[in-house]
Homo-oligomer: A and B are copies of this chain.
C-alpha cells in the first residue's frame, strides 16, 4: 500500500525538524560554542555545559540527526563542528518563513489585518 497520506508539506516538516533541534537551551548553547570556536571537542563542551557527559552525547546526536552539526572522530577525541551547508539552509528557511508571514500580514492592499 503506497497510500501514505501526507499530513504536512515537506517544508513544514523541515522547519519543524530544524526548530526541534533548537528547542532546548543547551543545544542552542552547544551551537553557540561551536560557532564561537569554529570547532570544539566533546570534552571542551562538557567542561562548559551544566550537564553530564552522556547527556551531552544525546544532545549532540539530536543536532547531528537534524543535520546542523557533524562529528569527526580524531582519537582520542571527537571533534564537532557546524555543518555549514545545512546550517545555511536552516537559516534561509527560517528567514523565509518569518519574512513571508510578515509580508503577507503587513501587506498594504486587500489583506484583512488583525485588530
Which residues does chain B contribute within 8 Å of A26, judged by CB atoms?
A: 7-8
Contacts of A95 in B (CB 8 A): 91, 94-95, 98
In the bound assembly, the distance between CA atoms of A52 and B24 in angstroms comes to 27
CB contacts (< 8 Å) of A94 on chain B: these are: 91, 94-95, 98
Q: Count of A residues near B, CB < 8 Å? A: 54
From B27, B38, B39, B91, give the contact of A98 (CB < 8 A). Answer: B91
Within 8 Å by CB of A112, from B39, B70, B91, lies: B39
Interface residues of A in 82-109 (CB under 8 A from B): 82, 84, 87-88, 90-91, 94-95, 97-102, 104-107
Give A20 Cβ to nearest chain B Cβ, in Å.
4
Is A45 engaged at the interface, CB distance under 8 Å to the other chain?
A: no
